Amino acid sequence: MGNIKILGGRKLSGSLRIQGSKNAALPMIAASVLHNGKSVLHNCPQIADVGYMTEILNGLGARTWWEGKSLHLDCTHLRYGQIPSVYAEKMRSSIIYLGALLGRFHQSAIAHPGGCVIGARPIDIHLQVLKLLGAHIREKDGMIYASCTQLKGNEYEFPKISVGATQQAILAAVKAQGVTRLHRCAREPEVQWLVRYLNSRGADITGENTGEIVVRGVEQLTDLEYEVPPDRIVAGTYLCAGAITRSKITLENVPVEEMESFLHMYRKMGGQYEVNSGKLLADSRELNRAVTYLETDVYPGFPTDLQSPLMAVLTTVRGVSHIRETIFEDRYKAAEGLQKMGAAIDVNGQDAWIYGGASLRGARLKARELRGGAALVLAGLAASGETVVEDCEYIERGYEHICEDLSALGGVIRKEE
Ligand code: EPZ
């Protein structure tokens, strides 16, 4: 595993273009199996998770290749096959293939993804909605086997809001017979983009931003070239880099309209920003207010994926901040590393109190998961001295060029093997 080395204590400046969205690209790649033709995803982030998704496709007979930042997927000769368990272990979101492969081959098989460090990550709702659409699901020796004669439209109310389960249902319903009505769907931008992507190639889906999605099954989809939208979580992470170093930076290609709750919090903390001609100018030089109380929530609430980066910022803001993580049961992994750097944080179940203002000291840390690892890198930018974040592969699952990006903003940061 590689390490990221940061020499902290410097202001950032300059501008940076935000990469394509990991969480928008992954379901779009899965959706390509629904069509025995070609898909091209422009501005696709070249990250580990995208690599795993294409390796799975290659293993099933598809052809995938890159032309610059464009990912080409040719599923003409896709053949049925089980998805090897190694992928479910490496990337739990490979479960998104279950419904799509079922839609294409009327059967699919994948290892149960299991949990991860941020929570149990059950898939019961994924399986429930596939059964309701006509799938027969069998679990044996850690594998999930799904089969059907034909997926049929039905009506379903999600017992809780789930991004992945909503996407799973949509992918299974796209070519099902008849109409599928889904209630209490996730409204995250990544669900909305998947619907726009599918409708651009012949699907018939409405209601993606209302929580009430209706999918009318179609016979065929078409080839498609599509632009992956910018990553709102990466944009928020780099805004936190500017905030933790009290810098003024410019970010380009930022999906500002998808970041209202985060930007509202940023302003409440004393951050100032303006948007002109597609650029976000963020001035954190006067940022100095703690956050009395913040709950993560489903969209459009404050995104759980930015909870750890925000926590890192709050360790440098004088006063007591209180965060409540309502989406995942164990998502304060970054606290341990931040405490090692001198931060005062109390974690109790879903709640974390940050007694901010202490100056952070560089330390040798371990990334435990994607967003918590990114939070430690941010803290390294503000800390005095050198910080080493080990196991940076976790971070590279979602951040295409975090070292190059932060260097472009003036950070002294590099990867060492
Ligand atoms: C997606 O995960 C994202 N991943 C996550 O981003 C993100 O944190 C999460 O949505 C919430 O926004 C991708 O898009 C690849 P959920 P997902 O299903 O779909 C429970 C990152 O850092 N649940 O919305 O797995 C679940 O345990 C990653 O980029 C069930 O109980 O999240 C959680 O408590 C991390 N049963 C809640 O729902 C199920 O069948 C929300 O999870 C499914 C989920």
- Specify whether 7 is located in the same domain as 145: no
- Specify whether 243 is located in the same domain as 138: no
- Specify whether 250 is located in the same domain as 220: no
> Of all protein residues, whose CA lies closest to atom 17 belonging to ligand 1?
164
Q: How many domains does the chain have?
A: 2
pLDDT at position 120, please?
83
Tell me the CATH number at 154.
3.65.10.10
83 φ, ψ to 5°?
Answer: -90, 120
- Specify whether 305 is located in the same domain as 408: yes
Ligand 1, residue 328: give the atom nearest the CA: 34
What does the alpha-carbon distance between residue 172 and residue 176 come to, in Å, rounded to a whole number?
7
- Specify whether 41 is located in the same domain as 170: yes
> For every residue of 77-140, which 3-state class applies, written as one string?
CCCCCCECHHHHHHCHHHHHHHHHHHHHHCEEEEECCCCECCECCCCHHHHHHHHHCCCEEEEE
Element at 311 (helix H, strand E):
helix 307-314
Q: How far is CA 256 from CA 46, 189, 252, 280, in A?
A: 23, 12, 10, 8
pLDDT at position 193, please?
98
Is 235 exposed, middle or buried (CB count within 10 Å of its CB: 0-12, 13-18, 19+)?
A: buried
Ligand 1, residue 128: give the atom nearest the CA: 40
Q: Which residue has the tokens 């974040």?
A: 389
Indicate the residue among 226, 259, 288 that finishes a domain: 226
CB atoms within 10 A of CB 160: 9
Q: How far is CA 235 from CA 15, 22, 254, 280, in A?
A: 12, 12, 6, 10
Indicate the residue among 226, 251, 279 that finishes a domain: 226
- Specify whether 277 is located in the same domain as 222: no
What does the alpha-carbon distance between residue 415 and residue 417 come to, in Å, rounded to a whole number?
7
Per the structure block, which two tokens stand in for 255?
A: 């999906």
Q: What is the pLDDT of residues 231-289, one digit of tens each?
A: 999 999 999 999 999 999 999 999 999 999 999 999 999 999 999 888 999 999 999 99
Q: How far is CA 10 from CA 18, 112, 241, 339, 413, in A?
A: 22, 45, 11, 21, 11
Q: How far is CA 399 from CA 35, 43, 230, 396, 414, in A?
A: 29, 14, 12, 5, 14
- Specify whether 176 is located in the same domain as 236: no
Neighbouring residues of 348: CB distance < 8 A, sequence distance ≥ 6: none
Best mutation site among 327, 330, 369, 402 for ligand 1 pocket (most ligand atoms within 8 Å of CB): 327
In our burial notation (b when 16+ CB lie closer than 10 A, e otherwise), range 19-45 reads: bbbbbbbbbbbbbbbbbebbbbbebbb
Whether 156 contacts 132, CB under 8 Å: yes
- Specify whether 11 is located in the same domain as 46: no
CA 282 / ligand 1 centre spacing (Å): 29
CA 213 / ligand 1 centre spacing (Å): 19
What does the alpha-carbon distance between residue 14 and residue 6 come to, in Å, rounded to a whole number?
18
Q: Is 23 in the pocket of ligand 1 (CB under 6 A)?
A: yes
Q: Is 26 in the pocket of ligand 1 (CB under 6 A)?
A: yes
Could you tell me where the beta strands, DSSP code E, fall in 162-266? 179-183, 204-206, 213-216, 224-227, 248-252
Q: Closest Cα partner for 10 from 383, 387, 391, 415? A: 383
pLDDT at position 1, please?
80
Digitized pLDDT (tens) for each residue of the chain, 417 residues in all: 899 999 999 999 999 999 999 999 999 999 999 999 999 999 999 999 999 999 999 999 999 999 999 999 999 999 998 998 888 888 888 999 999 999 999 999 999 987 788 888 899 999 999 999 999 999 999 999 999 999 999 999 999 999 999 999 999 999 999 999 999 999 999 999 999 999 999 999 999 999 999 999 999 999 999 999 999 999 999 999 999 999 999 999 999 999 999 999 999 999 999 998 889 999 999 999 999 999 999 999 999 999 999 999 999 999 999 999 999 999 999 999 999 999 999 999 999 999 999 899 999 999 999 999 999 999 999 999 999 999 999 999 999 999 999 999 999 999 998
> Of all protein residues, whose CA lies closest to atom 4 belonging to ligand 1?
23
pLDDT at position 90, please?
84
Domain that holds residue 369: 3-18+230-416
> Of all protein residues, whose CA lies closest to atom 16 belonging to ligand 1?
162
- Specify whether 130 is located in the same domain as 155: yes
Neighbouring residues of 374: CB distance < 8 A, sequence distance ≥ 6: 237, 308, 309, 395, 398, 399, 402
- Specify whether 238 is located in the same domain as 375: yes
pLDDT at position 309, please?
98
pLDDT at position 117, please?
83
pLDDT at position 352, please?
98
Q: Which residue has the tokens 């709640």?
A: 351
- Specify whether 295 is located in the same domain as 313: yes
Indicate the residue among 178, 207, 226 that finishes a domain: 226
Whether 401 contacts 22, CB under 8 Å: no
Q: In the annotation, is 116 catalytic? A: yes
Task: Please tell me whether the overall predicted TM-score, pTM, comes out greater than 0.95 for this model.
Answer: yes
Catalytic residue among 44, 116, 185, 403: 116
DSSP state of 393: H
- Specify whether 200 is located in the same domain as 262: no
> Of all protein residues, whose CA lies closest to atom 42 belonging to ligand 1?
162
Give CA angle at 376 (400, 339), nearest 5°.
Answer: 170
Ligand 1, residue 26: give the atom nearest the CA: 15
